[in-house]
Structure 1
Amino acid sequence: MTITKQELESRLWDAANALRGPVDPADFKTYVFPMLFWKWISDTWAHEHNAALDEYGDDLDDEIEADFHRFEMPEGTLWSVVTGKVKNLGAEIARTFQRIEKANPRSLAGVFGDASWGNKERIPEPALLGLIKAFNQIRLDPSTVSHDLLGAGYEYLLKNFADESGKKAGEFFTPREVVNLLVGILQPEPGESVYDPTCGSGGMLVATINQLREAGMDHRTLRVYGQEINLTTASIARMNLFLHEIEDFDIKRGDTLRAPAFKDSTGTVRQFDAVIANPPFSLSNWGAERWSSDPRAICGVPPAKNGDLAFVQHMVSSMNPGTGRVGVVMPHGVLFRGGAEAKIRQGLVDKDLLEAVIGLPPNLFYSTAIPACLLIFRDQKPADRKDHILFIDGSARFDKGKNQNVMSEGDVEVLVEAYRTGEDPDGEGGAHVRLVPFDEIEENGFDLNIGRYIKVAAVETADLGTALVAYADARQHRIDAENAMFERLAAAGVDLSMFEASDE
């Protein structure tokens, strides 16, 4: 008996709601996803066991049965066995997860994360029992829920958890219209490698697989890689890929800028066909002290209080010669900020690596209301785009949402087409799309602010975001200057009580 998408989503959300009250909504994902994954591998194991029995009957032995199973489930670790226990259930679940991970070291080590299942302050037993009761209403084996449906259910939970988490959601979830736009631009092909250095919950990697699958191409030959600093989020990404029936992947946990996990035999960063990411905006403590001798600093060392262009240079360093391309979400500040960032920007332009700058609508992201942009890099740009940069203004392509704006599938398709053709989708003679020669960019001091090159009807929207970024940047510079002045005055013995140093 199969289940519909609506039924699955409803039951999954019932499971999450079982935690409401004692558990902060921002922590729902920490508990719901491991339980969902465990229920899935348990139900699937039982389904596979029955299939083996049907085929071999009394001749079935452990060696034959092993061929039927994707994951090994040690005796006593199935959902139906463990959840029936009545004493210290949380601690029993924690032990079960450890046993399953140990039995599958190559595929499942660390996959369940580090939630404190035995801590009744974090997850009281009534909430845990409610979560189990809700999951008992769903059978998750292949005869009931297909991989496509299960993947869609996982995505539904991710989106809802992001909505519940507010600004915290930016750490693990990128709006899917932005993901689909990036994937549509980079167009991963069968057999290629795709890498996300800040992979969050794995949404961009899953989207690349889905694009090939929906186009009727062989998605199984695509190799996907990701690194994520947060342990819980890295675990969610791995579960996400498993549930989407993706096996050739490697998700590593760690700090990409301080300790990139993917390196070749010479110790340099490994290179990939497509590199795609939405890094944390304007990260202040990113490890600048190590970058003066880092080979990834191909155009210079970014400011210690702003790691945006460190991520960009890491990604550019990670793209394959010839086939490599990069798509990265960035705040507008990277387009015009001065100092070290201006020099890095000039270096990227001089190397003829930057192919396109695409402005996005405001208020798309959970972590910030300001508009962002996409930077597209390519190791080998098309002949007609050499010594040029394509500017696309997509700031007006959105629908107003309750808490956030959204882009429709049509909006995404229009911007992908504008990137591919270099032509204005509205036929307004370059009002929204323009291929700009390097000479003009150099005349503007390598300022890449979209408003310098495109005059559009939505200029007020774009300028609002730019102004907010510029204000925040100028405010920080003022604070730094004041602090430096007060330090010098104090060193000179001046009484600072006459000053009212303020951050306001």
Structure 2
Amino acid sequence: MAIKKSELYSSLWSSCDELRGGMDASQYKDYVLTLLFMKYVSDKYAGKPDAIIEVPEGGSFADMVRLKGDKEIGDKINKIIGNLAKANGLEGVIDQADFNDEDKLGRGKEMQDRLSKLVAIFDGLDLRANRAEGDDLLGDAYEYLMRHFATESGKSKGQFYTPAEVSRVIARVVGIGPGTRQDQTIYDPTSGSGSLLLKASDEAPRGITIYGQEMDNATWALSRMNMILHGHPGAEIWRGNTLADPYFKNPDGSLKKFDFAVANPPFSSKAWTNGLSPENDEFKRFEYGIPPAKNGDYAFLLHLITSLKSTGKGAIILPHGVLFRGNKEADIRRNLMKHGLIKGIIGLPPNLFYGTGIPACIIVVDKEHAHARTGIFMIDASKGFEKDGNKNRLRSQDIRKIVDVFNNQVEVPRYSRMVPVAEIASPANDYNLNIPRYIDSSEPEDIHDLDAHLNGGIPVRDADALEPYWAVFPTLRGALFRSNGRAGYLEPEVAPGEVKATILAHPEFSAYSGRVATVFDGWRAAHEPRLLGLGAGDSPRAVIHALSEDLLVRFAGVPLLERYDVYQCLMDYWAGTMQDDVDLIAAEGWVEGAKPRGIVEDKEKKIKETPDLVIGRRKYKMDLVPPDLIVNRYFAAEQAAVEELAALQESAARDLEEFVEEHTGEEGLLEDATNDNGKVTRASVKERVKAIGRDPEFAGEREALTRVTALIEAEARAAKAVKEARAALDERVLARYSSLAEDEIKSLVVEDKWFASIQAAVEAEVERLTQRLAGRVKELDERYARPLPELEREVEAFGTKVEEHLRRMGVEWG
């Protein structure tokens, strides 16, 4: 059965548990990623003639599996990896990690057990069941691991990975797309693990030729493996210091030129001149100026610019300081702008990158249209992100908004603007590119009205500020506000607690909700046939592309509802559930994918799956069709009966709890009927009944004990009835899976699961905009509900009461 993305991630991350302790994340990543590579190429290419990777005898993952428990497992794993490396010219690439290193993996039995468990984890992953073409499962898993390794590696060792979200932004703003030809080239002078190059290449469905250079040997090895895992074995990634010794050169010794270039160089490198004399640079990279000796940010930018063809386009991630620092950097900045090389600047949120928490920006370079450039397009995207542990991350909607706004050069208030070069070059700005100079992204100040605080009333200007709502609900304003008799002021028409209900009940809001539903239904109708027709060979990437693109288009015309929020609803559901489902359908088909699978407890893997159904000691997981869908469609009456029994149980439990609470405590009739934990139980009651016997002195207590016994038994009978009814329903549900026809499965998944879940998320967005309006109206009402004179009178009245109390107490108040 195809392995789910979430399961693969859990397995891989649990494998790291076997290595933690002996080394830090920057070291054990090499072991885990090497084993992932060995497992992947063995599953995909072993025994296949003319495969791009030859898996020789004695060089496969299967050979490693046979070593479990072997006293020389570390040395023999090294030899197996060496055999694969030698057969494919991958020496120095996949053999970086030493599996016989006693300092890192332990000595003797410790190493033997650790490596045996590690190999067993990977052995349990069947990667052959996943589609080979168009399936990024392994590539995504590789990226998942590198992101976690970067998080754990700390500031000094987490720079080998560019967050995938930022990579996607860069890939899309440089102009790579469906029209890009396979013979066009893309280059990254500081390629790291290759993530930025790969995300850029993903935007070219017909392919693109990849070049890169990386200075760190271990990171270079990661990038070579990464390229193979992503289906780019021919990518040219070379080792070496790009600034001091660039590898890619023309026959005449000049730098090779590329169609596209992307980079995420080390920020503010203080050693960028090592091995280099900028004043005598043979590649003429510093004609626009020589960067400061202790800060190499502009050195990488100038190298990237020089590496582009005359029609080339590029993007580079740099700290914000490059936009406004003075002296030599100011001179370079001025020269670049005078030559029209900078197309745009995108300011990113802080704490996105591994190795630094400072905010960074993307500088977009375009040589092709430099001569005609009269402005620089700027975006302040610093506020669009989500928290993810101790880092921030761009959401899908943040990425899409940045890309749409930049590529279409759309000016959005407090977000984006085309800034004329004349304005940047003015004496007031002097070529300073600091984004806040040109875009004020701060929210408008919520100004209080002193007259309203003094005399009451809600300022008309505050109601006018809600005009986007009134444009959609023209008569709703009159249902919420009325004149209070003073010019420029209003008073609420309904109490604060009734505002939301008034909005929801208003016919204009009902019409608006219907409009949203109509747009959603149109989108659903357009894509339902394709989803029902999914099968082997379908590309999950193509599916979500079609769904998301059309959703954005359809919701663009819906007022109030931000289309990127709706887009996020879809992308969240895709990432959390739907992508796994589509992967499973593409690999297994609808019928096989819907079959329940028994969960086997695997202590060695340390994976704990939450079962969807438990019958006796048998645990089941339903990956494609959760039991709730079966229950809702086929067993609604039975579920209602279970719920009715559960309500009776809850009532019986409540009666028992109230009776016990009433009669426990000091001098309570059940005070002596509790156990050591202070609980009234069947056993503790029985023991107390036996203790008091038939003594008339305890008649009242005996009656209470009889009553509580009856309540305990009633609650137990009710609980038993619920348990039995649920068990019977679970048995029927499990049996129903075996008789599901393919059309039924499709209907359950597409209609009851996918579309129903996405629709619920969209409706929640409508609910949120309603809440925002109701919250603001209520806030205004409460802010000015009690004018200052009224508050002063109340204070005076309270003061008088206090003085009176003090006099009664004999205290003189002077």
TM-score, normalised with respect to structure 1:
0.80
Shift of 1:89: 2.2
Residue number in structure 1 paired with 2:62: 80
In structure 2, the residue matched to 1:415 is 402
User: CA separation in 2, counterparts of 1:122 and 1:434?
Assistant: 53
The residue aligned with 1:453 is 438
Distance 2:4 2:387 in 1: 30
Q: 2:172 aligns with which of 161, 164, 184?
A: 184
Instruction: Quote the offset at 1:274 in angstroms.
Output: 0.9
Q: Distance in 2 between matches of 1:209 and 1:253?
A: 20
Tell me, yes or no, if structure 1 residue 41 matches structure 2 residue 30: no
Hey, what does 1:361 align to over in structure 2? 349
Task: State the Cα distance separating 1:46 from its structure 2 match.
Answer: 3.1
Matched residue type, 1:199: S
Within the candidate set 339, 346, 352, 2:340 is matched to: 352
8 Å Cα contact 1:113/1:232 also seen in 2? no
Instruction: Tell me the distance in 2 between the aligned counterparts of 1:228 and 1:13.
Output: 26
- Counterpart check, 1:395 vs 2:374: no
Q: Which has the larger radius of gyration?
A: 2
* 1:341-386 alpha-carbon deviations (Å, 9 max, x no partner): 1111111111111111111111111222221111011012278x61
Partner of 2:163: 175
Report the CA distance between 1:47 and its aligned residue. 5.1
8 A Cα contact 1:328 1:374, kept in partner: yes
Superimposed CA distance per residue, residues 258-290 of structure 1 (whole angstroms, 9 cap, x where no aligned partner): 111111111111111110111110000111651
Distance 1:244 1:459, change over 3 A: farther
Q: Could you tell me how far apart the structure 2 residues matched to 1:169 and 1:224 are? A: 25
> What's the counterpart of residue 279 of structure 1?
265
2:420 corresponds in structure 1 to: 437
Query: Which structure 2 residues correspond to residues 462-481 of structure 1 after superposition, within 5 A?
Result: none
Contact 2:26-2:158 at 8 Å conserved across structures:
no
Following TM superposition, by how much is the alpha carbon of 1:433 offset from its aligned partner in structure 2, in angstroms?
1.9
One-letter code aligned to 2:189: P
Matched, 1:15 2:4: no
Whole-Å separation in 1 of the counterparts to 2:87 and 2:289: 46
Tell me which residue corresponds to 2:316: 328
1:94 CA displacement: 2.3
Three-state SS of the structure 2 residue aligned to 1:163 is helix
- Indicate if the aligned counterparts of 2:341 and 2:370 stay in contact, CA closer than 8 A: no
Alignment partner of 2:149 out of 146, 161, 182: 161
What secondary structure does 2:355 align onto?
A: coil
Tell me how far apart the structure 1 counterparts of residues 351 and 443 of structure 2 sit (CA, whole Å).
14
Q: How does 1:209-358 map to 2 (within 5 A)?
A: 209-212=201-204, 217-219=205-207, 222-287=208-273, 289-294=276-281, 295-322=284-311, 324-358=312-346
User: AA paired with 1:378?
Assistant: D
Give the CA deviation at 1:238: 1.3
Distance 2:78 2:388 in 1: 40
Provide the rounded CA distance (Å) in 1 between the counterparts of 2:154 and 2:410. Answer: 36
Larger helix share, 1 or 2: 2
| Structure 2 counterpart of 1:436, one-letter code | V
Q: Shift of residue 421 of structure 1?
A: 2.3
* Inter-CA distance 127–22: structure 2 relative to 1 (3 Å threshold): farther
Counterpart of 1:59? none
CA 1:89–1:458: 2 relative to 1, 3 Å: farther
Match of 1:269, SS? coil
Q: Secondary structure at the match of 2:210?
A: strand
SS at match of 2:406: helix
Contact 2:46 2:54 in 1 (8 A): no
Q: Which amino acid aligns with 1:437?
A: P
State the Cα deviation string for residues 217-241 of structure 1 (Å, max 9, x = none): 323xx11111111111111111111
- Name the CA shift for 1:19/1:170 in 2 (closer, same or farther; >3 Å): closer
Please report the TM-score for the alignment, with normalisation by the length of structure 2: 0.50
Counterpart CA distance in 2 for 1:236 and 1:24 is 17
- CA deviation string 1:315-339 (max 9, x = no partner): 00011112x0110001011111112
Q: Which runs of 5+ in 2 are unaligned?
A: 446-814
Q: Secondary structure at the match of 2:203?
A: helix
Give the aligned residue type for 2:242.
T
Report sequence identity in percent.
Answer: 38
Tell me the CA shift for residue 417 of structure 1: 1.6
For 1:99 and 1:369, locate their aligned partners in 2 and report how far apart those are by CA, in whole Å.
42
Verify the 8 A CA contact 2:346 2:362 in the aligned structure 1. yes
CA drift of 1:169 comes to 5.3
Partner SS, residue 277 of structure 2: helix
C-alpha separation in 1, matches of 2:289 and 2:130: 55
Gapped runs of 5+ residues in structure 1? 49-64, 461-504
Report the secondary structure of 1:267's partner residue: coil
SS of 2:379 mapped into structure 1: strand
Q: What amino acid is aligned across from residue 154 of structure 1 in structure 2?
A: Y
SS in 1 for 2:314: strand
Q: How does 1:55-70 map to 2 (within 5 A)?
A: 65=49, 67=50, 69-70=51-52
Q: Distance in 2 between matches of 1:458 and 1:348?
A: 33
* Equivalence for 1:496: none
* Equivalent residue number for residue 138 of structure 1: 125
- Aligned partners of 1:435 and 1:42: how far apart in 2? 52
Distance 1:137 1:23 in 2: 25
CA distance in 2, matches of 1:112, 1:167: 25
- CA–CA separation in structure 1 for the residues paired with 2:136 and 2:410: 35
Kindly state the Cα deviation for residue 458 of structure 1 after the two structures are TM-superposed.
6.6
Alpha carbons of structure 1 residues 87 and 402: separation in structure 2 relative to 1, 3 Å: closer
**Which residue number corresponds to residue 488 of structure 1?**
none
Distance 1:143 1:171, change over 3 A: closer
The code of the aligned residue for 1:114 comes to: Q
Q: Distance in 2 between matches of 1:458 and 1:17?
A: 45
Query: Per-residue displacement from partner, 1:203-261 (whole Å, max 9, x unpaired)?
Result: 1111123223xxxx323xx1111111111111111111111112331111111111111
* Aligned counterparts of 1:142 and 1:245: Cα–Cα separation in 2: 17
3-state SS of paired residue (1:283):
coil
Q: Larger relative CO (CA 8 A, sep 6+): 1 or 2?
A: 1
Structure 1 pair 72/47, CA: closer, same or farther in 2 (3 Å)?
closer
- In the alignment, the residues of structure 2 paired with residue 448 and residue 113 of structure 1 have an alpha-carbon distance, to the nearest angstrom, of 46
User: Conserved in 2, the CA contact under 8 Å of 1:162 and 1:173?
Assistant: yes
Give the superposition deviation at 1:75: 2.6
After superposition, the Cα gap between the structure-2 partners of 1:43 and 1:420, relative to the gap in structure 1 and judged at 3 Å, is: closer
CA pair 46-301 structure 1, distance change in 2 beyond 3 A: same
- 1-side partners of 2:28 and 2:369: how far apart? 44
Residue pair 1:83, 1:89 contacting (<8 A) in 2 also: no
In the alignment, residue 291 of structure 2 is paired with which amino acid? P
Shift in CA distance, 424/238, structure 1 to aligned 2, threshold 3 Å: same
